Amino acid sequence: MNLDFVLNCDILVVGTGIGGLVATKKAISKGKKVCLVTNGKFCGGASYFPLKGTLGIQGTDGEKDKELFYEDISKIGNKMENPHMINTYIEDICDSISSLEEIGFEPWLRNDKRPACFAKYPRNIYLIKDWDKARQKAKEIFGKLENLEIIEDSSILKILKDNDKIMGAVFQKDKKFFAINSPVVIMATGGVAGNFKHKLYPEEITGTGHIVALDAGAKAQNMEFIQFIPAFLKPKYNTLFGEHTAKYCLGMYSLDKKLILDGVNSPEYKDLWIERSGYAPFSFDFKSHLIDLKMVEFDDEKNQGVILKYSEDLYKDEGEFYRVYLDWLKNTMGIDMCRDEVVISPFAHSCNGGIKVNENGKTDVDGLYAIGELSSAIEGANRLGGNSVGGALVFGKRAVDDANIYLENYKNKIYSKEDFEEKFNSWLEEISLNDKVNKLSTSKVLENLKSITTKCAGIKRTKTSLEDGLKSIELLRNQYNIKENLDSNSIETYLRLQLSKMLIKSMLTREESRGAHYREDFPYTLDKTYKIIISRKNNEFILEKEYLK
């Protein structure tokens, strides 16, 4: 297979969400030549997805709050968090907020201090909104920058190395393949929700960056901790459900109007609904996770979703959090929670785990960085609300600072098109060894893969369902020929198959329930704690338990 062209730069940034843009802007300010590549359009990723009216970022509220902030993050992480990164985040986050203005947003400090999702203590929360306006502003800002090449609609396939040094990466755009020669690669490709049927995510976020980074020599951890958040199936699909409304819920019903679970007027369930109104994603760490399990019990391939009925008192709540959400829901989405039939289901959202990095976003590979949701940053078994964008800001900037030091001692080497072709084609031969007679199209493989991942790797997991999922993925692979489908993104499809295998293997290995991970056959949390560390060798996964003191 021949490459169409090779570009040269100092720093390659993959992904144009907030993390990728912040890293790019800082790299340009340091005089570096940057190539910015995205799988979709400029200003993409979860941070530009119109999930709700505003998006919040928690900021440290002075010196006294530092210990409390650390307590909030570590407690909800339930021993799966990364302490070496938490202090860095707490120290840097407030100074990093201004980075949002540099890429086109207009952040402002929220009027009322309130605890973010999962947090015990209230603190400053900065808000951003107006995604279209911010996107247009970003285009103006980045359009004026010199030493910047922006390439859209291009999927990263492989990071290549020479004697353990980063050479650059190979991409596919439509039917063409090209390479970018760069000693530094900053990956900001997002999370894994794209491999699920229902997701609060842009379609182009596929999670393949995880496999690309692992194949380059990085490691991953905590991949089993994926947040599932209830969202609307009806009256408007893929709209965020405001968890705080749960304390006004009168009951949960099946689609044929049969009562599944009494609401807040029931003495037996009142406390559960009130507790559930305090956090968005499913978490086994709270007794009210029983509400989510009931939801899943009556939400299968035959019966899509459950109905929630609400008290009129919901619209009498004058709290800012209620007013902002309900007004946005009514004015922008045309939804009235009391008037309309509200049908919800768990949607895949944030991935708490990811590529292992240090406090500068650096992987175990010199020149390779992972930032944003691709990385395993400060989160653990749960993700504290308002830290997602903040982590992209803090570690996006620090990655560039560290890369700049690395480049000062790097002996520049320009690789030829033939150098890239030789190494890439050698890898292509390896992953195509198991190619058999092609029976499925790329679109059919991806459709089936989403169904498999959703069925076995959703909220409720068992050994049997997870093992069945692995067998089904292997069957898909055996019916799909990579080389015959190169023009229709077969390599990216292969990477997505590998991603789902990694998720399922992680879920199989954790034989307990903790935070966002629930095993129906192990409905308890172990006292002895460990992280599951994942690496790749010869295109196969290696999973190891790293026990914690």
- Residue 519 burial by CB count (10 A; 0-12/13-18/19+): exposed, middle or buried? buried
Q: Do residues 123 and 113 touch, judged by C-beta distance below 8 A?
A: yes
Report the alpha-carbon distance of residue 17 to residue 39 in Å, rounded: 11
Residue 358's nearest CA partner among 311, 413, 402, 303 is 402
> What is the CATH class of 5-225+352-408?
alpha beta
Secondary structure (3-state) at 328: helix
26 three-state secondary structure: helix
Whether 166 and 423 have beta carbons less than 8 Å apart is answered as no
Rounded to an integer, what distance in angstroms lies between the CA atom of residue 455 and that of residue 449? 10
Nearest-angstrom CA–CA distance, 511 and 462: 9
Cα-Cα end-to-end distance for the chain: 49
Which tokens is 189 given?
A: 């490709």
The residues spanned by each domain of the chain are 5-225+352-408, 228-347, 430-537
Asked if domains 5-225+352-408 and 430-537 share a fold, the reply is no
- Residue 508, C-beta contacts closer than 8 angstroms, at least 6 positions apart: 463, 466, 467, 470
Phi-psi map region of 397: left, alpha, beta (phi>0 left; psi -120 to 50 alpha): alpha
- DSSP secondary structure string for all residues of 483-534: GGGGGGTHHHHHHHHHHHHHHHHHHHH--S-BTTB-BTTS-S--SS-EEEEE
CB 80 within 8 Å of CB 73: no
Residue 372: both structure tokens together: 């944003």
CATH 1.10.10.60 fits 430-537, yes or no: no
**In whole angstroms, what is the distance from residue 251 CA to residue 21 CA?**
44
Structure tokens at 236: 């408007």
pLDDT tens digit at each of 549 positions of the chain: 899 999 999 999 999 999 999 999 999 999 999 999 999 999 998 888 877 778 899 999 999 999 999 999 999 999 999 999 999 999 999 999 999 999 999 999 988 788 889 999 999 999 998 999 999 999 999 999 999 999 999 999 999 999 999 999 999 999 999 999 999 999 999 999 999 999 998 888 999 999 999 999 999 999 999 999 999 999 999 888 999 999 999 999 999 999 999 999 999 999 999 999 999 999 999 999 999 999 998 776 666 899 999 999 999 998 877 888 899 899 989 999 999 999 999 999 999 999 999 999 999 999 999 999 999 999 999 999 889 999 999 999 999 999 999 999 888 889 999 999 999 999 999 999 989 999 999 999 999 999 999 999 999 999 999 999 999 999 999 999 999 999 999 999 999 999 999 999 999 999 999 999 999 999 999 999 999 999 999 999 999 999 998
CA distance 34 to 29: 11
Residue 348 pairs in a beta bridge with 199, 228
Hunting for tokens 């930032």 — which residue is that?
371
pLDDT value, residue 49: 83
**CATH of region 228-347:** 3.90.700
